Amino acid sequence: GENVEQHPSTLSVQEGDSAVIKCTYSDSASNYFPWYKQELGKRPQLIIDIRSNVGEKKDQRIAVTLNKTAKHFSLHITETQPEDSAVYFCAASISGNTPLVFGKGTRLSVIA
Amino acid sequence: DTEVTQTPKHLVMGMTNKKSLKCEQHMGHRAMYWYKQKAKKPPELMFVYSYEKLSINESVPSRFSPECPNSSLLNLHLHALQPEDSALYLCASSLGQNNEQFFGPGTRLTVL
């Protein structure tokens, strides 16, 4: 089955700097890659997703890149703000009837 | 209505109790999920319902019993739980299994 590895497990950045979180997946048939943000005590919320027919997607300060050949995808947050502090989970799934497989999460701390 | 709701928000139960968790969505989603999340870990899939039929059971112990009475409701019946079952139980829904999943706020369960 699919396996998703996520790095780093913790990341601290200064406010205004960029943050990058990377994930690799094992099953080349995976074609949907969402990123979730989970603040302390809150539900996971989708912040951006990408499908395998696209190499990059951007939404304001957040972008995701996908390299299908290398089977990895990355989350980029620019101009980080303290409210970006949270745990971020990547996930992957194969179209059809397979559910999401989550990475182990990255705890991002943005220091003011 | 664009939210998944869950009740109760918190639940404390003894090992001999029977209780139920409830989840509701009115977004017309046909896939609904139960996840278990321990502190500092990613959500762990328990069950998937697709078109009101159980499609995935991730080898969950029988003390957890899911039920999908209709396309908007998902229940999780709990009986004879163990202290290690204490966790945040998240419900999610999606249009199909390869679409964005919307998470509910979760039920924080404590088993004494």
pLDDT, tens digit, 9 for 90 and up, residues B16-42: 999 999 999 999 999 999 999 999 899
**Three-state secondary structure call for residue A83:** helix
Check pLDDT > 60 for residue A97: no
Q: What φ, ψ does residue B61 adopt, rounded to 5°? A: -60, 150
- pLDDT tops 60 at residue A93: yes
Lookup result for tokens 């995701």: A64
Q: Phi and psi at residue A95, in whole multiples of 5°?
A: -60, 150
Query: Under an 8 A CB cutoff, do B41 and A34 touch?
Result: no
State whether A43 and B45 contact (CB < 8 Å): no
Q: Are A22 and A7 in contact (CB under 8 A)?
A: yes
pLDDT of residue B96: 79
Q: Nearest residue on chain B to A42, judged by CA atoms?
A: B105
Tokens of residue B44, six digits: 């762990």
Q: Is the minimum CB–CB distance between A97 and chain B shorter than 8 Å?
A: yes
